[in-house]
C-alpha cells in the first residue's frame, strides 16, 4: 500500500495531505489491532475447529484433554479436500460433548510450531493428550469425517467393551459380522494393555475384553488368548498369547487384518460383511483416479498388506466360468498364512491344535475374484486385458507391482498352488506390459518410448538419455508437459542428448519400478547401465543445468 500512498500524494498534491495522514493513522491502528489479535492467547473457532497459533497453542493444550491438530498449508490441495470432512468431524465431536476437540495450524505462517513438531508435509495430523506437548501421537486413521470421529472416540473412551458374563459375551459376539475379544486373566497386565493399544488403532473393528473365569471356560480357553469371531469361513480364529514373548501389537494387528478377510475376496462395490481395519485410498492394481468411486472391498484388499494377490478374472454371467471358483477357493487355504510347527508340517496343514511354540507366519497370498463385466472392468487396462481374456489368472507381487501370468488353462486346485509356489520360489518371470511403438516415435523432439524399445534407447552408450515416466491422468505430469516439450526443443540438435517419455501405465520394465508420477531418470552415456534420478525443481532452466552438468546440478555459490 505504500506505493499507492506515494502516487496519491504526487497526483493530488498538498491539498489532501491532512486526509492522507488520517488514512495512515487508521492503517497503522488496524495493523496494530491485527498484531494484538495474533499475540493474544484467545482461541477462535471456524466451523467448530480451533484456530491455533504460536500464542494460543499452550492454552489449547491445557484446556482440552484430547486435541487433534491439523498442520496445513492454505495452497495445499489435499488440505483443501480434507477441510469439509475435518469441520464435520469437529462438529460431531462437539455435539456429542466429547472431551476430544479438533484444531488447525497454518504451518506456513506459524513456522515456529511447524519446526517444533517436525512438519514436513501437508496435511499432518497429530494428537496431543493431557497437555503433553513433547510426545504427540501421529494420526493413523482415515482421512474422512467418519474415520476421524471413530479414531478420536477410541481414544476418548475405552477401546474395548468389558464382557462380564456369558450372556453379554454371546450377544457381543453376535452383534457384528467380525469382532475381536481378548481373554486375559489380568486386565492390567502387559498383554491386555497391548490389546487395548491395538483396539485403539483398529477403529473399524469392534473389540471386547474378558477376564471372568466362566468366560474362559465357556470358550474353551485356559490361557490368555485373542479370539476373532466371524460369521463366515472358519467362524473363530484363536491367537494364544505366548507367555515368553507376550503380545506384540504389530503382529496382532497384522493377524487381525488378515483373518478378518474372507478366504476369497470379491472385488466389488457392494458392501461386504467385514469392516475394513484400515483404509488405503488406492492399491497398486486399482487405477487412480478411479473411473467411479472405489469399490467397498478395495480398502480391505489393499489395507491388509498381504504381499501377494492372486486374481481370478471371470465373467460372472457365465455359469461355466463361475464354476472355476471351486478350485480357486480350494487353493486359497494353503496360502492363508496360518501358524506352523517349528519342525515339520507345512503351510497347507497349518499347526493343528494351537500351541505356544507354534511360529506365526505372515499370510502370503490373498485370493481375489474379479468380475470383468462388473467393477472389475476398471482394472483391466492395468493388466493389459479386455473382458474377452476371461477366464484367466494373474498373481501380483505388491512390493514392486510385478504381475505374473499363469499360461496354462488349468484352473484346478493343484495347478493354481503349483503356479503360486513357483512364483514365490522365483521360478517364473514377470509378465511385462508394452504398447506398440508409434511409427513416428523418434521424429519429434520428445522421443516416445515403450517397453519393447526402452532398453535400446535408454542404455545406448553413445547417448545421454533423459526420460520422463508419466501417467496420462496425472495432473503433475500434465502441468510439466510444456516444460518437457520446451526442453526437448532446446536440445533437439544435440546428437549426444535424447529427451524421451514413457507412459508407465501401459509399459513396464523388469528392473525399474516407478512408484510415482512423474518420475525423471537420467541415463548417462557410456558402459555400466547407470541411472540417476532427478529430484529437483521441474522447470526448463533447472533441467538444462542438470543436463549441461552431466547429470548433476551444479553447486550454487553462497
DSSP character at residue 208: E
Enclosing H/E stretch for 264: strand 264-267
The per-residue DSSP string of 87-116 comes to HHHHHHHHHTT-SEEEEEEETTT-HHHHHH
Is cis: bond before 518, omega within 30 of 0?
A: yes
Among 227, 351, 358, 477, the active-site one is 477
**Among candidates 225, 86, 76, which has minimal Cα distance to 142?**
86
Q: Count CB atoms within 10 A of the CB of residue 533.
A: 8
- Kindly calculate the radius of gyration of the chain based on its CA atoms and give it in whole angstroms: 30
For this structure, is 227 an active site residue?
Answer: no
The per-residue DSSP string of 349-418 comes to T--SS--TTPEE----EEEEEEETTTGGGGTGGGGT--GGG-SEEEEEETTTTEEEE--S---SHHHHHH
For this structure, is 474 an active site residue?
Answer: yes
Contact present, 504 and 473 (Cβ < 8 Å): no
**Among candidates 141, 134, 68, 138, which has minimal Cα distance to 105?**
68
HEC per residue, 216-257: HHHCCCCCCEEEEEECCCCCEEEEECECCCECCHHHHHHHHH
For this structure, is 76 an active site residue?
Answer: yes
Among 79, 227, 351, 358, the active-site one is 79
d(CA 68, CA 152): 8
Instruction: Classify strands 308-314 and 264-267 as parallel, antiparallel or unpaired.
Output: unpaired
Contact present, 226 and 209 (Cβ < 8 Å): no
Could you list the active site residues? 76, 79, 474, 477
Amino acid at each position: 500500500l505504500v506505493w499507492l500512498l506515494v502516487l496519491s500524494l504526487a497526483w493530488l498534491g498538498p491539498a489532501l495531505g491532512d486526509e492522507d495522514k488520517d488514512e495512515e493513522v487508521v492503517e497503522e491502528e488496524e495493523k496494530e489491532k491485527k498484531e494484538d489479535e495474533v499475540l493474544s492467547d484467545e482461541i477462535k473457532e471456524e466451523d467448530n475447529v480451533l484456530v491455533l497459533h504460536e500464542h494460543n497453542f499452550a492454552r489449547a493444550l491445557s484446556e482440552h484433554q484430547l486435541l487433534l491438530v491439523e498442520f496445513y498449508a492454505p495452497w495445499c490441495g489435499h488440505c483443501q479436500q480434507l477441510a469439509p470432512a475435518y469441520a464435520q468431524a469437529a462438529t460431531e465431536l462437539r455435539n456429542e460433548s466429547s472431551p476430544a476437540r479438533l484444531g488447525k495450524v497454518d504451518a506456513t505462517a506459524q513456522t515456529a510450531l511447524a519446526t517444533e513438531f517436525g512438519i514436513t508435509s501437508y496435511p499432518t495430523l497429530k494428537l496431543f493428550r493431557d497437555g503433553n506437548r513433547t510426545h504427540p501421537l501421529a494420526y493413523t486413521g482415515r482421512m474422512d469425517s467418519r474415520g476421524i470421529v471413530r479414531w478420536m472416540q477410541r481414544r476418548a473412551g475405552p477401546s474395548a467393551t468389558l464382557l462380564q458374563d456369558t450372556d453379554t459375551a454371546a450377544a457381543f459376539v453376535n452383534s457384528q459380522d467380525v469382532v475381536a475379544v481378548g481373554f486375559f486373566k489380568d486386565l492390567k497386565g502387559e498383554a491386555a494393555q497391548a490389546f487395548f493399544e491395538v483396539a485403539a488403532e483398529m477403529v473399524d473393528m469392534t473389540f471386547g475384553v474378558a477376564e471372568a473365569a466362566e468366560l474362559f471356560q465357556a470358550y474353551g480357553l485356559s490361557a490368555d488368548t485373542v479370539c476373532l469371531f466371524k460369521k463366515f469361513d472358519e467362524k473363530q480364529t484363536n491367537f494364544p498369547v505366548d507367555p515368553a514373548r507376550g503380545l506384540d501389537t504389530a503382529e496382532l494387528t497384522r493377524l487381525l487384518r488378515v483373518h478378518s478377510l474372507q478366504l476369497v475376496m470379491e472385488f466389488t462395490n457392494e458392501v461386504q460383511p467385514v469392516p475394513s481395519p484400515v483404509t488405503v485410498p488406492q492399491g497398486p492394481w486399482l487405477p487412480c483416479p478411479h473411473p467411479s468411486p472405489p469399490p467397498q472391498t478395495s480398502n480391505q484388499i489393499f489395507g491388509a498388506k498381504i504381499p501377494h494377490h492372486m486374481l481370478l478374472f471371470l465373467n460372472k454371467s457365465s455359469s461355466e466360468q463361475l464354476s472355476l471358483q471351486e478350485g480357486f477357493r480350494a487353493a486359497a487355504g494353503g496360502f492363508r498364512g496360518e501358524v506352523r510347527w517349528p519342525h515339520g508340517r507345512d503351510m497347507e496343514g497349518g499347526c493343528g491344535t494351537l500351541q505356544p511354540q507354534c511360529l506365526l507366519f505372515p499370510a502370503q497370498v490373498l485370493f481375489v475374484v474379479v468380475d470383468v463385466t462388473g467393477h472389475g472392468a476398471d482394472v483391466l487396462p492395468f493388466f493389459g486385458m479386455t473382458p474377452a481374456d476371461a477366464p484367466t489368472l494373474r498373481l501380483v507381487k505388491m512390493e514392486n507391482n510385478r504381475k505374473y501370468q499363469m499360461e496354462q488353462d488349468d484352473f484346478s486346485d493343484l495347478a493354481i498352488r503349483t503356479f503360486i509356489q513357483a512364483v514365490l520360489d522365483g521360478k517364473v518371470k514377470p509378465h511385462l506390459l508394452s504398447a506398440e511403438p508409434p511409427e513416428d516415435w523418434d521424429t519429434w523432439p520428445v522421443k516416445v518410448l515403450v517397453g519393447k524399445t526402452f532398453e535400446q534407447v535408454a542404455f545406448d552408450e553413445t547417448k545421454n538419455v533423459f526420460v520422463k515416466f508419466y501417467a496420462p491422468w496425472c495432473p503433475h505430469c500434465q502441468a510439466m508437459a510444456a516444460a518437457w516439450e520446451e526442453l526437448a526443443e532446446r536440445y533437439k540438435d544435440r546428437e549426444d542428448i535424447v529427451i524421451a517419455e514413457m507412459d508407465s501405465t501401459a509399459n513396464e520394465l523388469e528392473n525399474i519400478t516407478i512408484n510415482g508420477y512423474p518420475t525423471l531418470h537420467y541415463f548417462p552415456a557410456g558402459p555400466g547401465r547407470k541411472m540417476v534420478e532427478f529430484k529437483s525443481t521441474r522447470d526448463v532452466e533447472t533441467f538444462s543445468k542438470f543436463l549441461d552438468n552431466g547429470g548433476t546440478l551444479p553447486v550454487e555459490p553462497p
